[in-house]
Amino acid sequence: MEGLKKIDCLLGKIEEIAIALALGIASLLNVFQVGARYLFNVSFNTFDEISVYLMISVIFIGLVRADALRENISVDILHSLLSKSTAQKLFRISDGLLCVIAFSLTYFTADSVMFSKMIGETSVSSLGVMIWPIMAVMPISFCIVGIRAGLRSLEILNIHKGEQLETGARI
């Protein structure tokens, strides 16, 4: 179990670095694009496309990070009204359902990525890059969320459980 916590911690650091890099690069590209457009009357559509892909990556990696920190959107008024043991059981059931949903989304998004690879789908701009490697962040993100939710549901990974049960109602 200690090994899982170390892996989760390492994965968390990788997630944070990936988010920071993708967001930083997207921001720089947008600043450069705006400057070039207004100062030199030149537009680089490729930079816009890269920024969009980076922001999509930030969203999906952020989804994984929010789930790991248990800071995803939740309404746990019911949990605050229940005893700690009952609330903990309800969290386990919720994590079990999240695990099923996340693995279902992993399957369907992986299917979409494979289809995109099979047909050789490319971006619409002059960049013309293959789309499937960019889309691959989706099934990977859902799979990580599913694994974490499953481990929490089985009480194998309980990093933030104690903190969460003390928070009370939050929206």
Phi first, then psi, for residue 130 (nearest 5°) are -65, 135
C-alpha to C-alpha distance for 75 and 155, rounded to whole angstroms: 21
pLDDT at 118: 94
Judged against a pLDDT cut of 90, whether residue 111 lies above it is answered with yes
More confident residue, 82 or 29: 29
Region 128-132: mean pLDDT is: 86
pLDDT band, very low/low/confident/very high, at 73 (cuts 50, 70, 90): low
Distance CA 116, CA 167 (A): 43
Q: Give the model's pLDDT for residue 79.
A: 67
Q: What is the mean pLDDT of the chain?
A: 83
pTM score of the predicted model:
0.76
pLDDT for the residue numbered 162? 46
Over residues 3-31, the pLDDT tens digits come to: 777 888 888 899 999 999 999 999 999 99
Q: Higher confidence at residue 12 or residue 74?
A: 12
Q: Which of 161, 167, 170, 156 is nearest to 4 (CA)?
A: 156
Q: Rounded distance, CA 46 to CA 29, Å?
A: 10
Residue 140 CA to residue 105 CA, distance in Å, equals 10
Q: What is the pLDDT of residue 92?
A: 86
Confidence of residue 168 (pLDDT cuts 50, 70, 90): very low
Q: Contact 150/97 with Cβ under 8 angstroms? A: no
